[in-house]
Amino acid sequence: MNQGKENNRFLLCRIGSRIGALALEDVRETMRPLPIEPLMGTPPFVLGLAIIRGFPTPVVDAGSLFGPSTSSSPILSPSPARFVSLKLGDRTAALAVDAVLDVCSLPSATLSTIPPLLLGGGVQLVSVIGALDTKLLLVLEAARLVPDSVWIAIKTQGASA
């Protein structure tokens, strides 16, 4: 994310009780969820593979990336309402979210770097944090959402098929 711009363009998504923001330049498209096939050897937050535009694409459960929220509602519904297809260099991944809310500009003044105390765990997937109204806003690092082990598992299972 380029924090030097006064207004950065983001796609806002609801992830349980939280708001996730993805840099608009990383977003290919949003869509209804597609059928998902489980993928062996991947972390629990990877739901499996969906065929998107003719290609097997890993689907990441946005809610399970950050653990339980403090609200009584679950992080992500059992069946996500939308997929957000992301550009990860020459690869594509889908992020399963509860809702796609809006495209907006977020002034840099409303965003903060992550305090050192919070670094580690799922936070390496977040570039900056902030607030949007009364909701926690997490600006997600699209390039870090799918670990290398998932790409290896896709390649391995594709070779054995």
Phi (first) and psi of residue 3, to 5 degrees: -80, -5
Q: How many domains does the chain have?
A: 1
| Look-up of token digits 């059928």 | 35
- What is the span of the domain harbouring residue 77? 7-160
In a domain, 2, yes or no: no
138 belongs to a structural domain: yes
What average pLDDT score do residues 116-133 get? 60
Query: Alpha helices, DSSP H only, in 10-147?
Result: none
Tell me: the pLDDT tens digits for 63-105?
Answer: 887 665 444 444 444 678 999 999 998 999 999 999 999 998 8
How far is Cα of residue 45 from the mean position of the Cα atoms in its chain? 10
Q: Which two tokens stand for residue 107?
A: 């002034």
Report yes or no on 1 lying in a domain. no
Alpha carbon distance 42, 44 (integer Å): 6
Domain CATH number, residue 49:
2.40.50.180
pLDDT in tens, 4-40: 443 489 999 999 888 899 999 999 999 999 999 998 8
DSSP state, 51? E
Instruction: Give the predicted TM-score (pTM) of the model.
Output: 0.78
